[in-house]
Amino acid sequence: MDPVDDRHDPEGRGDERQMLAQWLDVQRQTVFIKVAGLSEDQATRRLVGSPLTTCSGIVRHLRYVERWWFRQVLEGEALAPPEPADQPHAPFRVPPGVQLADLLADYRAEYRHSEQIFANWDLDAVARNPSRPVSCRWVMVHMIEETARHNGHLDILRELLDGTTGY
């Protein structure tokens, strides 16, 4: 059964702020479409050499990058490192027993928080984290790129898992 696709193309003539928000929203919604209908086994199955490339791991990572770029970089909030902190690429590693549905709910909650943060920032404002002096615009463009890149990974993994392609 094909997942319901509620995505809408961004307005063709909106202002820059609207376009950035709408394009990022399309990418975020695509994550849900790419993993719709996967079993837990499929979502956690490693299909390529890297231990970081499971569908569940990518969703967990995307939640982490939302948190990192909007809360820690833009807002300057001090965040604890992801668990387990002593492992490289910890945001991709899904703890045993964590379900894809929970990861998706966490991701949705985090990006909704990111949307609230973005609503209060001027595109030219510089992030509060002094180690990353980037503009809000830079963060938005980066998040579109990051999410789209990982959607490409999800697309390949999905095709390897069950032959589903597109969307």
Opening angle at CA 23, ends 121 and 120, nearest 5 = 10
pLDDT at 111 over 90: yes
Residues 50-104 pLDDT 10s: 767 899 999 999 999 999 999 999 999 998 877 766 777 778 888 899 999 999 9
Residue ranges of domains in the chain, CATH in brackets: 16-162 (1.20.120.450)
CA distance 118 to 74: 9
| Residues contacting residue 167 through CB under 8 Å, at least 6 positions apart | 2, 3, 5, 30, 33, 34
CA distance 55 to 100: 8
CA distance 29 to 38: 16
Is the preceding peptide bond at 84 cis, omega within 30 degrees of 0?
yes
For residues 136 and 20, the answer to whether their CB atoms sit within 8 Å is no
The conformation of residue 49, written as its DSSP 8-state character, comes to S
3 state SS of 126: strand
Residues 30-45 pLDDT 10s: 999 999 999 999 999 9
According to the model, what pLDDT value does residue 9 have? 79
Question: 95-100: long-range contacts at Cβ-Cβ below 8 A with a sequence spacing of 24 or more?
Answer: 98/56, 98/60, 99/40, 100/35, 100/38, 100/40, 100/43, 100/44, 100/55, 100/56, 100/59
Q: What is the dihedral of CA 144, 46, 95, 33, to 10 degrees?
A: 40
Full-prediction pTM beyond 0.95? no
The conformation of residue 91, written as its DSSP 8-state character, comes to G
| Single-letter code of the amino acid located at 85 | A
